[in-house]
């Protein structure tokens, strides 16, 4: 999609510190990390919010979680634990309208989240 920051990162048009890529997803480090490790996993397909997820898109969301699992394992967080979050729209705290799974690790997470 034109003028989408994360589509441009997925296409390599805007630089990012990529940590993982396969045919379906790309993952890169968040510019403003909220934990010692903060990675964003995005689909290569443009999907604006979770609300726009189509019935054929479930597999890509599964691929996002599979990537998060693999990154957590390769960075040593599988056993200590980590958090995955997807924000939706304004009240959910979404600021970039191309779905992304936050992978946060390296510190104790709080509950309930703010
Ligand atoms: P949201 O608030 O939509 O759930 O998360 C958007 C995330 O994207 C934020 O954590 C923000 O720091 C991150 N972000 C925004 N712009 C950029 C960018 O240009 N590069 C990277 N790597 N992260 C970004
Ligand atoms: Zn996009």
Mean pLDDT of 3-15: 97
Which residues contact residue 44 at a Cβ distance below 8 angstroms, ignoring those fewer than 6 apart?
Answer: 10, 23, 24, 25, 26
Name 20's bridge partners. Answer: 27
Mean pLDDT of 15-35: 98
Tell me, yes or no, if 110 is annotated catalytic. no
H helix intervals, 39-114: 58-74, 89-92
Mean pLDDT of 2-20: 97
Q: Which of 46, 100, 102, 110 is catalytic?
A: 100
The finding on whether 5 has its CB within 6 A of some atom of ligand 1 is yes
DSSP state of 32: S
Q: Tens digit of pLDDT for each residue in 34-64?
A: 999 999 999 999 999 999 999 999 999 999 9
The domains located in the chain, with CATH, are 5-105 (3.30.428.10)
The finding on whether 32 has its CB within 6 A of some atom of ligand 1 is yes
Of 58, 57, 81, 55, the residue nearest 68 (C-alpha)? 81
> Before 54, cis peptide (omega within 30)?
no
């Amino acid at each position: 999609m034109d003028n989408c920051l994360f589509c441009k990162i997925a296409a390599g048009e805007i630089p990012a510190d990529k940590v993982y890529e396969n045919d379906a997803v790309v993952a890169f480090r968040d510019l403003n990390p909220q934990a010692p490790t903060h990675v964003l996993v995005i689909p290569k397909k443009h999907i604006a919010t979770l609300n726009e997820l189509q019935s054929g898109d479930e597999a890509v969301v599964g691929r996002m979680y599979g990537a998060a699992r693999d990154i957590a394992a390769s960075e040593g967080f599988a056993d200590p634990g980590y958090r995955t979050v997807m924000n939706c729209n304004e009240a959910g705290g979404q600021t970039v309208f191309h779905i992304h799974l936050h992978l946060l690790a390296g510190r104790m997470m709080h509950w309930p989240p703010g």
